[in-house]
Amino acid sequence: MKTPLDRVSLSRRDFIGRISLGAAAVSLSSRLRAADAVAPKKLGIALAGLGSYARGQLLPALKNHTQHCRLAGVVTGSKEKGLQWSKDHGFPEKNIYSYDTMQQMADNPEIDIVYVATPNALHAQHSIAAAKAGKHVICEKPMAISVVECDAMIAACRAANVKLSIGYRLHFDPFHQELKRHAREKDFGPFMKITGANGFNMQRKVWRADHKLSGGGPLMDMGVYCLHEACLATDGATPVAVTAREHPKTRPEIFADVEEGLDWTMEFANGAKAEFMSSYSRNDGWFRAEAEKDFMAFSPAFSYNGLKVTTSQGPLNLTPVPSQQAIQMDDFAQCVRDNRQTIVPGELGRRDMLVVEAIYKAIRTGQRTVVAA
């Protein structure tokens, strides 16, 4: 039989136990808050343009692979599509914007970055609108359809004190990083002969074959990969001159106002030469850079995955990344957070547009064309 003293002792032990549990809970709560403080909040990205690239590449990257950013909203011309994305992917309806209401994002702290993935001719308009709303910008390649538009985008981002990055995903792929390293360190010697091709067989007319939306044909789409890769293989050099020839059109009903295909050559100041082909009538995707005795050969070269690289010293055995786009977006989110420069800034997109403009001029004139400064 318990005495009153026994009952008091039991109560005291119970009280001490409860105090200990409470202290443990407080300690756990403190550790969780400390962990939250150590792990910074993911930055919010709004996708502007919900076409195949956003659906097939950017969305899966944000949902499954990114560590520093997340899908926070969309910009779309279809309210119904926006509502469906909100329902399916867990962001509030207030984070749905139209292209006419992008300025209202200025009042939304949940969105830090806008990824512009609309047709080429709309890149400048939508990037500038995002910048004016105070949001950092990733713009899909090609940066714009003219150097003048590139300049306007760069100026708008500087005026708004926001960062601008171009969607050159291959800069974040380990195989292409190895090409960049070889070009920089020249352990193969300088790459002097560069060749490649990139294209696909377009079966019907889509916006890419409409000059008003695309600004051009396969050069503006698939060819940009080739010319950008050549600059990468020459350690970031800009070509000094180009020559070019448009292919005869076999399907003018589709390619009425853009080229169906083209060949072009790029000359570099050190004597290196790059020869490429791009087409909407054949499936291609390879790249080769040759030094005096050594080489690197990519096939496939520009795909989202499955890249294969052979060198003069054997196959390049690297671990592929699960998503080039995820690494690209994560890196930009860290650039924003740490206030550092992206490795794929607007100036890089502008350089490539200088080359594109020279190539189109060479096609029109049939003459060797100097690339503008």
* CA-wise closest residue to 188 among 302, 93, 101, 309: 309
Name 51's Cβ contacts closer than 8 Å, sequence gap at least 6.
117, 118
Q: How many angstroms separate the CA atoms of 339 and 326, rounded?
A: 19
- Residues acting as catalytic residues: 141, 225
Name 35's Cβ contacts closer than 8 Å, sequence gap at least 6.
none
The confidence score (pLDDT) of residue 373 equals 82
The confidence score (pLDDT) of residue 172 equals 97
The confidence score (pLDDT) of residue 235 equals 98
Q: How many angstroms separate the CA atoms of 5 and 7, rounded?
A: 5
Phi and psi based region of residue 314 (left: phi greater than 0; alpha: psi -120 to 50; beta: remaining):
left
The confidence score (pLDDT) of residue 333 equals 98
How far, rounded to the nearest angstrom, does the alpha carbon of residue 364 sit from its chain's CA centroid? 31
The confidence score (pLDDT) of residue 90 equals 96
The confidence score (pLDDT) of residue 38 equals 60
- DSSP structural state of residue 173: S
Q: List per-residue pLDDT tens for the chain, 373 residues long.
A: 443 334 334 443 443 344 343 444 444 444 434 444 566 899 999 999 999 999 999 999 999 999 999 999 999 999 999 999 999 999 999 999 999 999 999 999 999 999 999 999 999 999 999 999 999 999 999 999 999 999 999 999 999 999 999 999 999 999 999 999 999 999 999 999 999 999 999 999 999 999 999 999 999 999 999 999 999 999 999 999 999 999 999 999 999 999 999 999 999 999 999 999 999 999 999 999 999 999 999 999 999 999 999 999 999 999 999 999 999 999 999 999 999 999 999 999 999 999 999 999 999 999 999 999 8
